[in-house]
Structure 1
Amino acid sequence: MEDDNVLATTKQFLRKNGYHYKKRYIRPLITPDSVYIFRFGKEKLNNRIILRYGHGWTGRQKIKEIDLRLHKQKHPRIFKTERSLLKYLQTHLEVHEEKLHEEKMRKLGLDK
């Protein structure tokens, strides 16, 4: 399937950092665009990327919008390119995972 190269760099980044992911394609009936839902996480798949894309007249994929919602975020972060998404993930995912780990330790009563 040609859509397998969508977010290929992001998938490599997540696999390299120990994240699991699950993908699903949606083809809405009303619009010509496709939607790619990508759920990921280390233990639970509680983070989500929603990619809206279409195809140009040459058949190439054109990303319209990438929405990223990390666990417990109220509003999604919106990106126009995969490169900007990766830049955000590289800087914020580590900090986000540390916060989740601290919350988990606090619930277990193992905090200092």
Structure 2
Amino acid sequence: MRDNDLMYKREYIRPMMTPQHVYVFRFGKHRLNNRVIIRYSHTWTGRLKINEIDVRLHHQHHPRIFLTESDLIDYLKRHMEKEKKKRASGDDE
């Protein structure tokens, strides 16, 4: 993240009444206005099981919800491709 000039902050939230754990990762170029929330639990063997990944980019009102990491990575790749096209078309004008 720092290699790409992005600031970030990590927070761990452990709810008292539910077995799920929550990890909040905030990041951004100038402000921490992007957020990834990972809800996870432990299997009976002690492994981590990701239950849900919420992504809010630039203060979105409705988060994108993913069930697997690969879905999240595919979405972020598409999002970055759109941003690159916008910047390329903006540079051409």
TM-score (norm 1): 0.67
**Structure with the higher strand share, 1 or 2:** 2
Amino acid at match of 1:20: M
Q: Any runs of at least 4 consecutive aligned residues in structure 1 with deviations exceeding 4 A, and if so which?
A: 14-17, 96-99
Indicate yes or no: 2:18 matched with 1:31: yes
TM-aligned CA distance change 1:26 to 1:65, over 3 Å = same
- Post-superposition shift, 1:93? 3.7
* Counterpart in the other structure of 1:85: 72
Query: What is the number of equivalent residue pairs in this alignment?
Result: 88
**Structure with the higher helix share, 1 or 2:** 1
Gaps of 5+ in 2: 88-92
* Partner Cα separation in structure 2 for residue 96 and residue 23 of structure 1: 25
Task: Output the aligned Cα RMSD.
Answer: 2.4
Indicate yes or no: 2:48 matched with 1:61: yes
Deviation digits for residues 22-59 of structure 1 (CA, Å, limit 9, x no counterpart) = 11100000001100001011111100011100000110
- Counting aligned pairs with the same residue, the percent is 58
TM-score (norm 2): 0.79
Gaps of 5+ in 1: 1-13, 102-111
- Post-superposition shift, 1:95? 3.5
